[in-house]
Amino acid sequence: MIALLFPGQGAQCVGMGQTLAHRFPIIKARCEEADEFFAYTGQSLIQIMWHGPWETLMHTQWAQPALFALSAGLFDVVHQHCGLADLSIGWVAGHSLGEYSALYASGCFSFQEGLAHIQARCQAMAQVQDGAMAAILKLSLENIHELLQRYGEGQVELANDNCPGQVVISGKKDSVHRILTLAQAQGARCILLQVSGPFHSSFMNLAAERFSHYLKPVSFSSPSIPVITNVSAALQHDPESIKLQLIHHLTHPVRWRETLQTLHRLGAEYYLELGPGATLTGLVRKTLDSVSATSLGDLPVLEAWMHATMVPSARAMPNL
């Protein structure tokens, strides 16, 4: 069975989706719909996606809708192809912002509704800008917890548990830098993330409160494809529970390692990443054994995968 994975903020890159949009009309249409939705800003989302500058694309207000538009278009292409090739999509999951792409794929809301949800989310997140996030590599989760408990002073929290040896912390800038210095002394590699706030931590409470005022009256449909959420790392079926998870999403960590382990226990053997880059593909390979993971965000790879899976003898799913 196939699990579809959708990347989050940080996967964006200048030029993302341009060649795909020229090849697949539905991807072009999704990008154009998103461009029109955000035209009120006086800027072109497509221009920023395809031509930059990077300094603009990295901002939350542009990175998030850009990723959603491309991932949604890729899903539309892959979903149609799977129907033609008699391939079954078992589950969907998205990393951070990618959860909105997963919920679109599952049928919880339309593409236009997804754009509105992301717009409201970005506006809420912009209310909190005093903070920092950083990735810590090559230290165990237990070591990170110990550093946070002993030296975090309540100002730094675990934001992402991505895979063995890779976590992200979030909090006040000075405190984040202090934890990084201590982690480096233990042999860790540390990377400050280019984000505008302390996402996925309790420091986003104000943003979560504002977002909840927007989201609570909104109606979601029940997922037609089972979805696993970041906050629970478990299957979620009830639309109201999914909405609540999206609110908690801003203040709670992304449990991605556990999400992949849940998918594996449920029987997922093939993992397809729908978005730019191959970050989630790498996390799958670092977390799970004896599975196939492929990123379909590059046109030659997507076309090769589509060709291979239309050949009956290749139904074992190519690992490109």
Domain coordinates in residue numbering, the chain: 2-127+202-314, 132-192
- Side chain identity at 287, as an amino acid letter? T
pLDDT digits over 235-262, tens only? 999 999 999 999 999 999 999 999 999 9
CB-based contact 92:260 (threshold 8 Å):
no
Active site residue 295: no
pLDDT at 314 over 70: no
CATH of 2-127+202-314, one of 2.40.50.140, 3.40.366.10, 3.50.50.60, 3.40.50.720: 3.40.366.10
Residues 136-159: what's their mean pLDDT?
A: 96
* Active-site choice (117, 200, 249, 252): 200
Q: Give me the CATH topology for the region 132-192.
A: Alpha-Beta Plaits (3.30.70)
- Given 71, 96, 101, 201, which residue is catalytic? 96
Mean pLDDT, range 87-101, rounded to an integer: 97
Phi and psi of 169, rounded to 5°? -110, 160
Q: Which residue would you say has higher pLDDT here, 85 or 57?
A: 57
Mean pLDDT of the chain: 95
Q: Is the pLDDT of residue 115 over 80?
A: yes
* Coil, helix or strand at residue 212: helix
> Can you name the residues that pair with 170 across neighbouring β-strands?
133, 157
> Residue 161: pLDDT above 80?
yes
Residue 194 above 50 pLDDT?
yes
Cβ 287 vs Cβ 163: under 8 Å: yes
pLDDT band at 196 (very low <50, low <70, confident <90, very high): confident
**3-state SS class at 218:** coil
For the entire predicted model, the pTM comes to 0.95
Task: Establish whether 200 is a catalytic residue.
Answer: yes
Q: Give dist(CA 173, CA 186) in Å, integer.
A: 20
Nearest of 306, 270, 304 to residue 290 by alpha carbon: 270
Residues whose CB is less than 8 angstroms from the CB of residue 269 and which lie 6 or more positions away in sequence, other chains included: 1, 2, 291, 292, 317
- Secondary structure (3-state) at 57: helix
- Please write the tens of the pLDDT for every residue from 42-83: 999 999 999 999 999 999 999 999 999 999 999 999 999 998
209 versus 316: which is more confidently predicted? 209
pLDDT for res 85: 83
Residue 172 scores a pLDDT above 80 = yes
- The Cα 278–Cα 281 span in angstroms is 5
